[in-house]
Chain A
Amino acid sequence: GAVVSQHPSRVICKSGTSVKIECRSLDFQATTMFWYRQFPKKSLMLMATSNEGSKATYEQGVEKDKFLINHASLTLSTLTVTSAHPEDSSFYICSASDRTFSGNTIYFGEGSWLTVV
Chain B
Amino acid sequence: AQSVTQLDSQVPVFEEAPVELRCNYSSSVSVYLFWYVQYPNQGLQLLLKYLSGSTLVESINGFEAEFNKSQTSFHLRKPSVHISDTAEYFCAVSDLTDKLIFGTGTRLQVFP
Contacts and interface: CB of A to CB of B under 8 A. Distances in A.
B98 A110 contact: no
Contact of A32 (B34, B98, B101): B98
Interface in B72-107: 90, 94, 98-105
Given A43-B90, A44-B90, A106 B46 contact: yes
Interface string A61-79: 0000000000000000000
A110 B100 contact: no
Given A106-B46, A109-B43, A97 B101 contact: no
Chain B at the A interface: SS class: strand
Contacts of A36: 102
Contacts, number: 48
Contacts of B103: 43
B43 A108 contact: yes
B91 to A, nearest CB: 10
Contacts of A111: 42-44
Contacts of B104: 42-43
A23 to B, nearest CB: 11
A32 B94 CA distance: 15
Given A43-B90, A103-B51, A110 B42 contact: yes
A42 B15 CA distance: 25
Interface in A10-60: 32, 34, 36, 42-46, 49
B100 A34 contact: yes
Nearest to B51: A103
A116 interface: no
Contacts of B36: 108
Given A34-B98, A44-B90, A93 B51 contact: no
A93 B100 contact: no
User: Which 8 pairs of residues, A with B, have the shortest CB-CB distance?
Assistant: A97-B98, A111-B43, A108-B44, A110-B43, A43-B104, A44-B102, A43-B102, A43-B105
14 contacts: A43-B90, A44-B100, A44-B102, A46-B100, A46-B101, A97-B98, A106-B46, A106-B94, A106-B98, A106-B100, A108-B36, A108-B43, A111-B42, A111-B44
